[in-house]
Amino acid sequence: MSTSMAELRSSYTKQGFLSGLPVLDALELQATREAFGKLESEFGKEYTQYSLHNVHLQYSWVMALAKHPKVLEPVSAILGPDVILLDSRFICKYPVLSGTTSNGQQEKDITTFAKQSSAPNKEEGSYGKAHTGQQEKPGLPFVAWHQDMRYWGLAGGPVLSVWLALDDALKDNGALQVIPGSHCSGLLPHQLSSRAGNMLSVNQEIPEQLVKTDEAVLCPLLAGQMSVHDGLLIHGSDPNMSGRRRCGFVIRFVPTCAYPIQDPDRPRSFNATVMVCGTDKFRNFPSNTPEL
Ligand SMILES: O=C(O)CCC(=O)C(=O)O
């Protein structure tokens, strides 16, 4: 393992996440965005917002993203050489400005709001404030504070999530926010969120009193970059208050030693698993490698 990979692993172990890792070059990014644009035209934005789930089994360009060497190098530096792709999903927050009236009134309102809710330090998350919904228009899509492991009936190894940006994902369009080091606190209780707009399929959230929102850190990404986070790291994201789309491709990976468990509280089927590097001596997950 190169020194830089060893450093990345060490930082990930301590903080529970890494951000700003370069993946796609300009040509790859352009091709990826064009391919995603075709899905948008075919399925419509309501669908592509959150329902393009495990389509790495259907489209070779999506599989190529999930297996991109610049994705897999840091992933295998962290998880070890034998890695399985567990699940994937596009998560898109579309601009709220698309409903702008002809006199631009809505745009003006939203711009004003975005200014009000800006944290003084651009690199720090404003998550706590905005996340309480105190200043926001209700119902805009956001992602409540949660831990991915809350949903995954898995044991025997960690889950690592990659968030690969197809668009610039910055503060104003609702980039991912994380609580550094929170992966060391174990699995926390989740409750049903009472706030409208939570994109998570089971509408769960960690109660706010359990989240150190003042320690939240924004993970701004330029299109083509990725962040990675541990399955126990507390994370979420604010609504897109900009006029720009925020599209990311989320890929979950596990080492082959992980295995599914029957936990009624975390029911989940793993029917899109694909071996992406190394060898699988455990065979805890079915191989679904498609012929694309
Ligand atoms: O895209 C987002 O804002 C949230 C993504 C997320 O929760 C995840 O990658 O686990």
Q: Is 250 in the pocket of ligand 1 (CB under 6 A)?
A: yes
Q: What is the DSSP track for 182-227? A: GGGG-PPP-EE--STTB-STT-EE--GGGS-GGG-EE--B-TTEEE
Closest CA to 277 of 110, 70, 102: 70
Q: Is 176 in the pocket of ligand 1 (CB under 6 A)?
A: yes
- The pLDDT > 70 percentage for the chain reads 86
Q: How far apart are CA 59 and CA 57, in angstroms?
A: 6
Which of 237, 246, 268 to mutate to test ligand 1, by most ligand atoms within 8 A of the CB atom?
Answer: 237
- In contact, 168 and 60? CB cutoff 8 Å: no
CA 172, 120, 132: angle at the middle one, nearest 5?
60
Q: Which domains does the chain have, with CATH numbers?
A: 3-277 (2.60.120.620)
- Helix, coil or strand: residue 21: strand
Q: Is 237 in the pocket of ligand 1 (CB under 6 A)?
A: yes
Which of 163, 205, 218 to mutate to test ligand 1, by most ligand atoms within 8 A of the CB atom?
Answer: 163
Closest CA to 148 of 249, 276, 266, 277: 266
Q: How far apart are CA 270 and CA 267, in angstroms?
A: 10
109-127: pLDDT as tens digits: 332 222 223 222 323 333 3
Q: Which helix (H) or strand (E) holds 251?
A: strand 246-255
CA of 249 to the centre of ligand 1 (A): 9
CA of 281 to the centre of ligand 1 (A): 31
Residue bearing the bigger pLDDT, 107 or 206: 206
CA torsion 48-53-58-61 (nearest 10°) is 70
How many residues appear in the chain?
Answer: 292
Specify the ligand 1 atom closest to the Cα of 246. 1
Highest-scoring range by mean pLDDT, 55-69, 122-136, 187-201:
55-69
**Partners of residue 237 on adjacent β-strands:** 143, 176
Question: Residue 164 pLDDT > 60, yes or no?
Answer: yes
CA of 164 to the centre of ligand 1 (A): 10
Q: What is the DSSP track for 81-146? A: S-EEEEEEEEEEE--GGGG--TT-HHHHHHHHHHHHT--SSTTB--HHHHHTTSSSPTT--BEEEE
- In contact, 96 and 113? CB cutoff 8 Å: no
Q: Is 161 in the pocket of ligand 1 (CB under 6 A)?
A: yes
Query: Which residue has the CA at smallest separation from atom 10 of ligand 1?
Result: 148
CA of 291 to the centre of ligand 1 (A): 29
* Cα–Cα separations (whole angstroms), residue 194 to 78, 150, 168, 189, 270: 36, 18, 29, 15, 29
Instruction: Count Cβ atoms below 10 Å from residue 135 Cβ, excluding itself.
Output: 12
* Averaged pLDDT, 161-190: 97
* Averaged pLDDT, 207-218: 96
